[in-house]
Amino acid sequence: MLQALSDGNQRILVSMLEAGEWSVEGNDVVIKVAESQTVVDMSLSTDARRLAIASASGVLGRAVKLKIIPGATVASTAGKRNGADRAGGPSSGPGGRSRAEQDSVVRRLQEKFGAEIRTVIDYKDKR
């Protein structure tokens, strides 16, 4: 499914989903992601949803529905991130996000304004 989404130029969605916890419950493919409902809604267009459902249905051999559950606590590990390079997504992924979360300025802004990290542009590999 991730490869089909990557081929469909849905790299942000691929990045979000590959870090999630996947399960199949009956006829539902359930993916728990760490992002908020707003981020999920912005990332998952109608075309992307159709592509994901068609791909998952093809792999499972039956019609399935897609459920993306936002706000879950998902531990990101290097093993889960190996798919980003294969799928053509950004290799920095949660590495950039985790560095941003550790940054003292970012933490201070989160505490002071109740801010959340929405977008991380990691220029570390561009140097």
Average pLDDT for 75-99: 48
Instruction: Identify the band that residue 51 occupies on the pLDDT scale cut at 50, 70 and 90.
Output: very high
> In this structure, are residues 69 and 30 in contact, taking their beta carbons and an 8 Å threshold?
yes
Distance set, CA 97 to CA 29, 47, 101, 107, 111 (Å): 26, 27, 6, 12, 17
* pTM for the structure as a whole: 0.55
The percent of residues above 90 in pLDDT, for the chain, comes to: 15
Greater confidence (106 vs 51) lies with 51
Instruction: Identify the band that residue 125 occupies on the pLDDT scale cut at 50, 70 and 90.
Output: low
